[in-house]
Structure 1
């Protein structure tokens, strides 16, 4: 009898050993409102100047209605593109995340050794049933992390056109004669605005917005001359920039 019981226990343990723990597969339903962010990828932290973070736009954002905004880089020059995905296309991208096991991954990955002052990348998905973020500091995430990142950060197959904001929050930080090399001149007359008028921050449109958007996309570390003084500038776009303007 004891021999029979031993066989039963052994078979049970063998069966348990064969069980594969599957990652969660949540329902791929999301808030379809135009301002809701369904998928995003961004990089923050590390030894970068403050004005870089103030000007930073996530590598990609997919919104509830299918709008997608992503960034392409050519050295220091940034191009922000906008396109549209159908509901089926958004669902297909989410299915790729789910099939890769994304919803069962750890929230944070890092190397075994100590590495200082590196940036952290994050993939985030917001569904009706779950919000899931996976971040990687240098290395350690599953191999599919890079695959998913490349998929969405390239526009996820959408046809892109240059994005042009309609409003933005402009801040100019005086450099007070630091002797830095001027990279851009602010069009004081064309905009009807000198940068001394926006040191406390101000929403701008029209020519001022166009000028600031062009300068920041050309060089986020631009040293801008206006009315004989030098400034760093930052421009934050509501709903698009990583930092939310006031």
Structure 2
């Protein structure tokens, strides 16, 4: 009996894999990044003597004109006197000036956020290198340079909030997110002015990595006046001070409160957390 070869091919393919569970989708939605507050990497490099620059230089000042700029190779090959990139860093200082590696996309550049006097200097950059978005704070000092970096939204609302926190040493909670909850005089955690708690629990069961036993903790979905989407927050009260951790609104869309709690528990059980 003749068989249509197209039917045989169609039957050889199954129905395909099942959709991943929501916890995986939430994790992927956050870019599968670590949630640690503070810097993600520190690189210390020796200063490089140079007779010429082989890659495009970043512009000076707080520079909106650098948004989306891609550093490119020079039109002529470097000479033997020009330095080559000997490590895997997206930026470097050459002869006292910042250089951006070829192919790096600069979304925002703030020159000298520390306000150092020459020859010291510093630079804050929101950039993409090899497909990875990074927030970087670099310093040139003492004959060498170093930089710290963080994954975007790793506890801060935006690049400006992160940079201000790194430069000014802002107090915990000054992270650029809107106020969602606050500590009342009687010790209760209540909605902040202009905010409304939609759902909450005072027993989120986030584990010892989040807070020790008998530490007041909680979690809630909160709306904020003027905002179109809700926030998922978790909190702990340590030595009479409220520490609130906020997740981006995009992570709340389409998820139930129980699903958000399940994701948070998994994050703290793994040691990653939500920052």
Report the TM-score, using the length of structure 1 for normalisation: 0.22
By relative contact order (CA 8 Å, sep 6+), the higher-ranking structure is 1
More helix by share: 1
Report the TM-score, using the length of structure 2 for normalisation: 0.21
